[in-house]
């Protein structure tokens, strides 16, 4: 297995793991809301999701460049900007909520928005971006 193929496999496994956590968070947002849940979601975003994005923006991009594939790696990073914006909005609402300036309903709404953005993003990567990258990896040996 090539280096790129190996990283893509790892990233896809991570997607499954992250989506499982998101599903749990969404169930708790609906049925078991608490301040601790908000902290857990923020930690999930800042640590696990952040590390996943770093793997794509650094490790995967490095592997692509190393393979000398003529791939526009900007697309990988560009796809993350929408997520970054959604996360920023969520964090703003959490800050307001902690000051009593926004409601639980708003926190849930913005958390759900972030989770939907993440899900859509993973689908885009697995269905379009990753297969395109893999094709490049394989074409080099033709
Ligand atoms: Fe990504
Ligand atoms: Fe990803």
Using the Cα atoms of residue 26, residue 88, residue 124 and residue 61 in order, give the sign of their dihedral. negative
Contact 136, 75 (CB under 8 A): no
**In this structure, which ligand is nearest to the CA of 81?**
1
Q: Which residues of the chain have pLDDT under 70?
A: 68-69, 137-142
- The confidence score (pLDDT) of residue 73 equals 78
Q: How much distance in Å is there from the Cα of 39 to the middle of ligand 2?
A: 22
Inter-residue contact 52 to 121 (CB < 8 Å): no
Residue 52 CA to ligand 2 center (angstroms) comes to 6
Q: Which residues neighbour ligand 2 (ion) by CB within 5 Å?
A: 125
Distance of CA 48 to the CA centre of its chain: 9
Q: What separation in angstroms does the CA of 100 have from each of 50, 88, 115?
A: 28, 19, 24
| Per-residue pLDDT, 141 | 60
* Ligand that comes closest to the CA of residue 77: 1
Q: Which residues contact 40 (CB under 8 A, 6 or more apart)?
A: 25
Q: Using CA atoms, how far apart are residues 34 and 29, in angstroms rounded to an integer?
A: 8
CA distance 31 to 125: 31
Q: In terms of Cα–Cα distance, which of 2, 132, 1, 142 is closest to 67? A: 2
Give the pLDDT of residue 126.
96
């Amino acid at each position: 297995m090539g280096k790129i193929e190996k990283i893509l496999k790892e990233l896809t496994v991570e997607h499954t793991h992250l989506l499982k956590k998101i599903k749990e968070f969404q169930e708790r947002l609906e049925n078991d809301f608490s301040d601790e849940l908000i902290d857990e979601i923020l930690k999930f975003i800042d640590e696990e999701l952040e590390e996943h994005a770093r793997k794509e923006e650094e490790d995967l991009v490095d592997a692509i460049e190393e393979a000398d594939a003529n791939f526009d790696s900007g697309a990988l990073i560009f796809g993350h900007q929408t997520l970054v914006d959604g996360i920023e909005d969520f964090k703003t609402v959490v800050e307001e909520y902690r000051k009593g300036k926004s409601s639980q309903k708003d926190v849930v709404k913005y958390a759900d928005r972030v989770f939907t953005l993440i899900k859509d993003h993973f689908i885009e990567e697995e269905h379009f971006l990753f297969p395109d990258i893999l094709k490049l990896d394989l074409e080099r040996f033709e």
